[in-house]
């Protein structure tokens, strides 16, 4: 699962500061159909992939960047956003070993190490995965909505208060905890590279009407992905997190209320990249300023359909 539309909207916010931005997908692509890079931008992800597919997606991205004629691979700064793990939750009951927490962290780690070792001048947003249980409430009696049972059966099919559902909720929480354990460190931080965990979705409840029911205007016909209305909120949440320091980042409790964009303060007009664990010895990444003409937006996303599954 990924944030393609949200990143597309984010790219337009970034272009207010840097009109020469490269890499944002100019539109949507169709699942299962080949698309040229002029249509995808650097959105090279594949619909339905799990975290064990992330290293191959990362390799594809790195190779594409190296050979892209419009990019100075060594000098241009790059911004990459990754959101992975929800398909693993959806498939967990089908193979608990393959979709385990350990494997989730293993393949995330491999991918981040590839980027750190091979790509100069890059900032990586890793978006914390969602609490998925409330996705079960996003329902209506339509054929599209019944698709949930095919692509997220491990979450949708268990009975309420069942042992299967309890286990899945615990696994979802463990995914979040282990991702924090991996990234709240200086392991992926150096002079020209940083990985930043953006936690705004950690406790997010789906948008609701005043009567407490799910606001279905935020969801597409499959009852699983956000509409543009929802993606606007995701883009704003990610933007805000990028300009907030570790330990002071906004966490959305509910999408029922619109998120207000923050403006980078004059005294710190940069994306925050230094982890608290990096106590000394590393200067801030000056590359993080949005005023630099070389900033490159990279969208490594799980879906070429430009949709985000939301709970």
Q: Could you read off the pLDDT of 228-277 as tens digits, one per residue?
A: 888 889 889 999 999 999 999 999 998 888 999 998 888 888 899 989 88
- The answer to whether 71 touches 65, Cβ cutoff 8 Å, is yes
- 230, two tokens: 């929802």
* Residue 241, CB-side half-sphere exposure with 13 Å CA sphere: 23
Mean per-residue pLDDT, 73-93: 94
Question: Average pLDDT over the chain, rounded to whole?
Answer: 84
308 domain-assigned: no
Strand partners, 81: 125, 299
- DSSP annotation of 249: -
SS3 136: helix
Radius of gyration of the chain measured on its C-alpha atoms: 19
SS3 297: strand
Could you give the number of structural domains in the chain?
A: 1
**pLDDT category of residue 34 using cuts at 50, 70 and 90:** low
What pLDDT shows up at residue 308?
36
What pLDDT shows up at residue 151?
85
Q: Could you read off the pLDDT of 219-239 as tens digits, one per residue?
A: 888 888 888 888 889 889 999
305 domain-assigned: no
Residue 105's CB: how many other CB atoms inside 10 A? 18
**pLDDT category of residue 14 using cuts at 50, 70 and 90:** confident
307 domain-assigned: no
For Cα atoms 26, 273, 201, give the angle at the middle one, nearest 5 degrees: 65
Q: Is the pLDDT score of 303 beyond 50?
A: no
Mean per-residue pLDDT, 22-46: 68
37 domain-assigned: yes
Among residues 23, 118, 109, which one has the least CA distance to residue 62?
118
- 4, two tokens: 């393609």
Q: Could you read off the pLDDT of 106-157 as tens digits, one per residue?
A: 999 999 999 999 999 999 999 999 999 999 999 888 888 887 778 899 999 9
Among residues 170, 173, 99, which one has the least CA distance to residue 129?
173
Q: Is the pLDDT score of 160 beyond 80?
A: yes
205 domain-assigned: yes
Mean per-residue pLDDT, 205-213: 93
Q: Is the pLDDT score of 280 beyond 70?
A: no
**pLDDT category of residue 295 using cuts at 50, 70 and 90:** very low
Q: Which domain holds residue 185?
A: 4-274+285-299
What pLDDT shows up at residue 124?
97
Percent of the chain clearing pLDDT 70 (strictly above): 82
- 256, two tokens: 């029922």
Among residues 184, 51, 52, 190, which one has the least CA distance to residue 118?
190
Sheet hosting strand 122-127, strand order edge to edge:
189-190, 193-198, 122-127, 78-82, 296-299
SS3 107: helix
Distance CA 212, CA 226 (A): 18
What pLDDT shows up at residue 35?
65
193 domain-assigned: yes
9 domain-assigned: yes
Strand partners, 298: 80
Q: What is the pTM of this model?
A: 0.86
59 domain-assigned: yes
- 71, two tokens: 């990019």
- The answer to whether 224 touches 309, Cβ cutoff 8 Å, is yes
What pLDDT shows up at residue 2?
47
């Amino acid at each position: 699962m990924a944030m393609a539309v949200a990143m597309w909207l984010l790219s337009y916010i970034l272009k207010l500061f840097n009109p020469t931005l490269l890499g944002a997908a100019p539109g949507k692509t169709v699942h299962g159909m080949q698309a040229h890079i002029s249509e995808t931008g650097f959105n090279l992800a594949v619909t339905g992939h799990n975290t064990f597919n992330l290293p191959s997606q990362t390799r594809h991205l790195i190779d594409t960047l190296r050979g892209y004629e419009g990019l100075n691979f060594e000098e241009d700064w790059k911004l990459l956003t990754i959101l992975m793990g929800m398909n693993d939750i959806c498939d967990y009951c089908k193979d608990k070993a393959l979709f385990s927490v350990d494997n989730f962290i293993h393949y995330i780690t491999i991918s981040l190490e590839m980027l750190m070792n091979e790509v100069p001048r890059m900032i990586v947003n890793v978006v914390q995965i969602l609490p998925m249980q409330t996705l079960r409430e996003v329902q209506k009696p339509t054929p599209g909505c019944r698709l949930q049972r095919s692509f997220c059966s491990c979450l949708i099919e268990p009975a309420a208060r069942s042992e299967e559902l309890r286990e899945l909720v615990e696994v979802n929480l463990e995914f979040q905890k282990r991702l924090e354990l991996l990234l709240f460190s200086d392991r992926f931080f150096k002079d020209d590279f940083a990985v930043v965990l953006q936690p705004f979705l950690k406790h997010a409840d789906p948008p609701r009407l005043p009567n407490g029911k799910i606001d279905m205007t935020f969801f597409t016909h499959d009852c699983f992905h956000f509409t543009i209305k929802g993606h606007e909120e995701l883009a704003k949440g990610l933007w805000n997190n990028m300009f907030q320091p570790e330990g002071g980042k906004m966490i959305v409790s509910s999408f029922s209320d619109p998120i207000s964009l923050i403006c980078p303060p004059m005294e710190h007009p940069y994306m925050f990249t230094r982890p608290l664990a990096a106590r000394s010895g590393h200067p801030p990444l000056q590359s993080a300023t949005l005023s630099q003409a070389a900033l490159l937006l990279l969208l490594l996303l799980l879906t070429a359909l430009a949709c985000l599954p939301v709970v």
